[in-house]
């Protein structure tokens, strides 16, 4: 969020601690979080349930897109035909970094083009 603050984007204070439970439960904690496998329509709907709009979606997604990810999160899209269009050149670049395999590899790869 420091980047957003520097660029003059929206910021807000967040109180520490949970208010919805007295004990930790990973299923309950992540039940309303968007999945990395959701399409845009699903993401918009998930954000709307939380009282957030498309502007919030873009802001929060933008703050989380720079970095590394496991091949398993996008491997299906670069090797299998899906109804989700992907640029062929981008897919080939990802394929060089993530060999086709049925097991999740712990290796992390940047999604950024260098």
Report the distance separating Cα 100 and Cα 86, nearest Å.
Answer: 17
- Whether residue 85 is annotated as binding a ligand: the answer is no
Task: Please indicate if the annotation marks 64 as binding a ligand.
Answer: yes
Is 55 marked as a binding-site residue? no
d(CA 96, CA 90): 10
Using DSSP's 3-state secondary structure scheme, residue 83 falls into: coil
Q: How many Å from the N-terminal Cα to the C-terminal Cα in the chain?
A: 23
User: Which residues make Cβ contacts (< 8 Å) with residue 4, sequence separation at least 6?
Assistant: 10, 11, 59, 63
> Annotated binding residues for Ca(2+), as ranges?
65
> Annotated binding residues, as ranges?
34, 64-65
> Annotated binding residues for heme b, as ranges?
64
> Annotated binding residues for substrate, as ranges?
34
């Amino acid at each position: 969020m420091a980047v957003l603050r520097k660029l003059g984007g929206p910021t807000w204070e967040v109180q520490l601690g949970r208010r919805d439970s007295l004990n930790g439960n990973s299923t309950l904690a992540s039940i309303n979080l968007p999945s990395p496998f959701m399409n845009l329509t699903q993401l918009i709907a998930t954000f709307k349930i939380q009282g957030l709009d498309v502007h919030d979606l873009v802001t929060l997604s933008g703050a989380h897109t720079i970095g590394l990810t496991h091949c398993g999160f996008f491997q299906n899209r670069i090797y299998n035909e899906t109804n989700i269009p992907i640029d062929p050149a981008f897919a080939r670049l990802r394929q060089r970094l993530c060999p086709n395999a049925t097991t999740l590899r712990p290796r992390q790869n940047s999604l950024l083009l260098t």
